[in-house]
Each structure stands twice: as C-alpha cells, then as structure tokens.
Chain A
C-alpha cells in the first residue's frame, strides 16, 4: 500500500450500525483538508453525524452523495499532490477487493450486543465493552434515554479500557421498577451494578438526569468514583423544561413525539423518524410510562428540580468536568455557573442538550483526555 494515501471509510457510529448513507460531502473533491476537518455527513438509521477527516491531504471522492455503504467500505481517499492518479486508482481497486473478503469479520465485530443481567433481583440491560488496566468508565444516560444514547461514544472511549453502559431502571430493556424514582435510589442501583461487575472504582460519564445520579453516587460512595464527566447534568439548578418532560411522558405517536424530541438538539433535522420510533417502542412497553411518571414526580415536583447536588462538587474531593451545550433547551446552560474553580466547565456553542450526539468527536476527545489524566 502507498503510505501517502489515506483511506476514508464508512465509520461505525454505535454497535448497531452496519451500514451508513453518505448524506453529503462537506468538502469538494480536490480540496485540501487537515485532520479533524468535517468531511461529510453520515446518516445512520437513527441520526446524522458529521465525519471528521482522519488525516491530511487532497480529497478524492469514491462514493457519491446519497450512496448507502457497509461500515468500513471506502468512501474516499486523501493523497498528496505528488501521488499519481494511477497509484490512487490501484489503491482503490486493491482496497475494494480486500474489503469484500474482510466483510465476514466486520459482521462478527458488529455482533457485540447488550445483555440483560440480574443485579440483586433487578433485570438490567448492560453493554460491556473494552478491556485494559486503566480505570473503567460507567456511562449513565438521562431521563427517557437508554444505553444507545452513547452510540457515538461508547466504542471510542473503550479503546484500552473497560466501558460499561446500562439502561437505568424503568428505561430501555431494564426492569420497570424505579423505587421512589429519586437520583439517590437510582445511584444505589448503579452502585449495585458496579459491585456486580467487580468494578471497585469507575469514572462516571453521565448525561442530564444521569448527571444527578452520578452526583448522588459520588455523594453516597466517593471512594467508588475516580472522576465525574457530566454532560448537561441535572442537580445544579432548579429550572427544567417541563414541556419536554410532560410531552415526552404523554406523546404516544410520531406526530406528537417528534416536536418534543426537537427540544433535545440544536439542529432539529437530527431527529429522524427511526429515532422517534425507537423511543415509542420503549414507551409502549407496559410499565415504561408509569416509571417515567414516578421519576418525574420525585425529581421535578411542581415543575422544578427537587435535588440540589452542588454540595457534592463543592466538597472538592472528586475531580469533575462539566460539558454543556450553549443552546440547551432542557436544562439552561447558566446552571453551569458558580461552581468551584477546580471544576472545569466547557460550554459548547451551537449545541443543544445532546452534545455527546451533536458533537460526538469533540466530546470523545475531551472526555478521553479527562479520564486519562
């Protein structure tokens, strides 16, 4: 293979992704790009995500807009000026031939699937990826979410370490009993899960209500927490968008759920029918809606957040990073203010309540660096 040619292949966003659609190139053929530049929008069955260039060079496009290709297929190449067209053609032909024979391996890799495990009599759906000596990470999703909220992050963070995602009680494929629905109760379940998996200490990467659960966990069992990386966490201020919470609970059809899901992101076109379908499928399970109602009644009585978990951060015994979208329509970004100076706060412009999906590559880099420190 010619070392000065970099292949650009269909990325794998989340474990369920086997193919993606090249929604549109963002760079014209023949343009010079550098590593980290947005190259193209890739559309999965769930959501569209920008794909960043893995290297530098001049872009030669192989796939065209609108094409659907399997994960790992060649969509373009980067090469320097001095590489001849004939060399590039040969590279593309060789890559394509080898890719066709590798296809079976790629299918095997896609087979890592969540499992439902029994933790102290409670069924929890868990996806356990990666291994290594580094301290493991526990991913905690937010209200109404599930472990697929980490589809763009889980595998990226799991390079060289164990990263566990799970469905909170009442969510996804986990049992629907949520106790009193409080962050403290749900933190207790997360502790049970860590114990069950033999994890003594973990970095907690948590989103939204998951952030409040991570803070409660750090309050209850600081020795189990290596650090807190919190994305738009609950628990730091009273305000919360109850149109979202109530709308999410009551909506039972595409037409009613789509506008509610729009609150989650800055770019509303990210919310696809498939994403809404997956949420409706979960919400239609017996017990799912009453679990959400119980959590909302305990966490957000009278339309305000009941738990003030700032004291956990003010205590200063756990390293913390806060990431927040500037245009968050669920939890206002101003709730990230007034924290102790030791807490790093990173505000992301042009981002809503789902930075881990809206700016996956940035978030993976920032959190990857943070947990490696």
Chain B
C-alpha cells in the first residue's frame, strides 16, 4: 500500500491485467507514447497525459498498438478483436472524439450480445478522458457519460479517486461486456492510498463517502470530491450530509440512492454534464417516482448551464459546479434563504 496518483493507479491496473492475462491488449492514439514519431525516442510521453507510460517497453508492439488518427477504424477493430477472443483496452483520448466512432460503439459493440442471441461476448474497454477545468475548450472538455448511459448494452464507469479507478478498471477489463471507462482529466495528479495488489470493485454498487442525517448528495466523478468538501464545510455549520458516489452510471445503484433519500428526506445532485437529459435528471426522476413521500424539500441540482464549455478560464470556472454552489444548494434544500449562485 502506498500513495498513488489517479494516473499511476490506472497505469498499474493496465500493467497488472496485461501481466495476468495475455489476451489483454492496449490500443489507441499515442498509447505507445511518441513511438510513432521520427524522433527515435521510444515511449517519450506514455500517451498525451502519461497514463500508458512504460507499457510499450514491457509488453512490446504486439500488445501496445499505436493507431492512426482514425477512431472509426481502431474502435471498430477493438470491438471485433473483443468479439473474437482478445480483451482490448482501447483509448479514445478525449471522449469528445466519440462522434467519429459512435456507430462502432452504439450499433456494434453494444448490440453484439443481444443480436447474437446471447452467444457473443464483447470484453471491450474504451478508456477516455473527460471533463472541464483544464482549459481545453468546447471540443475537449465535455462530460459525456449520459450519452453512453443512454445506450443499453454498455456499462459506464466514472471513477472518483485513485483507489476507485484501479479497482473499477480491473473489474472493467475482466468484464465480458463493453465498458466505457471515463477519467476526469483534472484528477490525474490526485493522490491517495492504493493497494499494490490487484483488486476489483463490483459495478452497480454505490460508495458512501460519508454518512449524515440531514441531506443526501449524489455526485459523479470529480464532483464527489467537491461534494465531500462542501459536506465538510456544512458539517461545521451543523448540517450533516450523506455523499453517494454511484461509481457506475450504468448499471446504477438505485437501491442505495432511494434508501439514503428515505433516511434523509432531502436530495442534492451534482452533475458536471450538460443539464438536459443528464444523470441529475435521471436520478431526480427516479426519486420523484419511488421516494416522493420521503421528500421534505424539492430536489436541487447543481450542474452547468446548457452551453458549450467556454474556453476563457473565468467563464469555465463560472460554468462548472463548485464547492460554493453545492453548499448553497444544500442550504436552499434545508430551507435557508441563500442568494442564488450563478
């Protein structure tokens, strides 16, 4: 056990699974880290943000495939490889690039098991980085997990910390269905204690990062950290919150959400994705339908406005949910009169 970053935790998960199972391969743009260039340096970067560093050296070109910039071809190839016996981990780099290969994911990989009468398995993992706060502008900053959650046949993982990332990625690689694994790009340097051994975290079981009596906060990915910070502040003001990290948006642990809302009677949802048809809307509908009687106050949602992610950092900060906005939403749900934070 030692402190590891989100980046190291993901790298270790890939490395340990590649050692354990020769069918596990990694493919994508720049995963071999600079190998495709003409500089002569092998694995100079280990991917755009260094996550696959060292894999090429250890496992070679047969298992770490540097692909051309053609998402449709290599995501399609990964789906085919998965259906025919390998366990590929394909990296889409920025999740925003999914537009170029949505058919391969939505109409092919996600449908194989169903359309082949349950006889086909597609043990495919697609890793991609997502999220705003990195000054990467509108085409490289989206939080598209609701898009994948909408598609039956896909499992969707949004890890909230290094410990979670390692266990959930190993679970994803060992899973026999296509899994979309989304890494928030602002979190790569976050650190915490992570076991050196391989371990798994099952899909569809939410994690409670804290338990409280007054209000339940459901948060996704990096928002879990912000929700915990807000809950720390609120605790000092006498408001105790439960914070739920669902870990996976598909499958979603609806039982835990409903149980906690039944206990606390108040709900705030923190979602970094665009507000229409997002996870906050989905969870709100769930609670409104099955736990309406438990609610003591209207559900509050903390999410960005319905606009592209702005490039200017002042606007990007304004766009994103923040600890202050979560704190204000919780107080509003508790019946305090608080000024609206844009």
- Residue positions of A touching B, CB distance < 8 A: 68, 116, 173, 176, 252-255, 273, 277, 281, 284-287
Contacts and interface: CB of A to CB of B under 8 A. Distances in A.
B1 interface: yes
A171 to B, nearest CB: 13
Contacts of A254: 205, 256
Contacts of B197: 176, 285-287
B198 interface: yes
B167 interface: yes
Given A68-B235, A173-B1, A285 B198 contact: yes
A253 B201 contact: no
Contacts of B308: none
A201 to B, nearest CB: 31
Contacts of B201: 284
Contacts of A252: 202
Nearest to B20: A286
Given A253-B202, A255-B255, A285-B197, 17 more contacts: A116-B1, A173-B1, A176-B197, A254-B256, A273-B208, A273-B211, A277-B207, A281-B195, A284-B167, A284-B199, A284-B200, A284-B201, A285-B195, A285-B198, A285-B199, A286-B198, A286-B199
Nearest to A253: B205
B244 to A, nearest CB: 12
Residue among A68, A176, A277, A286 facing the most chain B CB atoms (10 A cut-off): A286
A273 B197 CA distance: 23
Contacts of B199: 281, 284-286
A173 B2 CA distance: 12
A287 B20 CA distance: 13
A97 B256 CA distance: 43
A20 to B, nearest CB: 14
Contacts of A286: 197-200
Interface in B299-327: none
Contacts of B255: 255
Nearest to B259: A255
Nearest to A254: B205
B200 to A, nearest CB: 5
A277 B201 CA distance: 11
A254 B255 CA distance: 12
- Contact-residue size bin, chain B (C-beta under 8 Å from the other chain): 10 to 19
Nearest to A113: B1
Contacts of A255: 255
A281 B205 CA distance: 13
Nearest to B235: A68
Contacts of A281: 195, 199
A284 B203 CA distance: 13
Contacts of A68: 235
Contacts of B195: 173, 281, 285
A43 to B, nearest CB: 11
Contacts of A173: 1, 195
A116 B201 CA distance: 24
A107 to B, nearest CB: 17
Top-5 shortest CB links A-B = A284-B199, A286-B198, A285-B199, A285-B197, A253-B205
Contacts of A273: 208, 211
A252 B255 CA distance: 16
A253 B256 CA distance: 12
B238 to A, nearest CB: 9
A225 to B, nearest CB: 31
A68 B237 CA distance: 12
Nearest to B204: A253
15 contacts: A68-B235, A116-B1, A173-B195, A176-B197, A253-B205, A255-B255, A273-B208, A281-B195, A281-B199, A284-B201, A285-B197, A285-B199, A286-B197, A286-B200, A287-B197
A284 B211 CA distance: 22
A255 B205 CA distance: 9
A286 B167 CA distance: 11
A68 B240 CA distance: 11
Contacts of A287: 197
A287 B198 CA distance: 9
Nearest to A283: B199
A276 to B, nearest CB: 10
Interface in B99-144: none
A287 B200 CA distance: 11
Contacts of B208: 273
B97 to A, nearest CB: 32
B19 to A, nearest CB: 12
Contacts of A284: 167, 199-201
A154 B264 CA distance: 37
A253 B201 CA distance: 9
A118 B298 CA distance: 57
A281 B199 CA distance: 8
B307 to A, nearest CB: 38
A282 B202 CA distance: 13
A255 B206 CA distance: 11
Contacts of B1: 116, 173
Residue among A252, A255, A284 facing the most chain B CB atoms (10 A cut-off): A284
Nearest to B167: A284
A287 B255 CA distance: 29
A81 to B, nearest CB: 34
Interface string B1-23: 10000000000000000000000
B237 to A, nearest CB: 13
A134 to B, nearest CB: 31
Nearest to B255: A255
Nearest to A66: B240
A285 B201 CA distance: 9
Nearest to B208: A273
A68 B205 CA distance: 28
Interface in B155-200: 167, 195, 197-200
Nearest to A284: B199
Contacts of B205: 253-254
B195 to A, nearest CB: 6
A167 to B, nearest CB: 12
Nearest to A272: B211
Contacts of B256: 254
Contacts of B202: 252-253
A68 B211 CA distance: 13
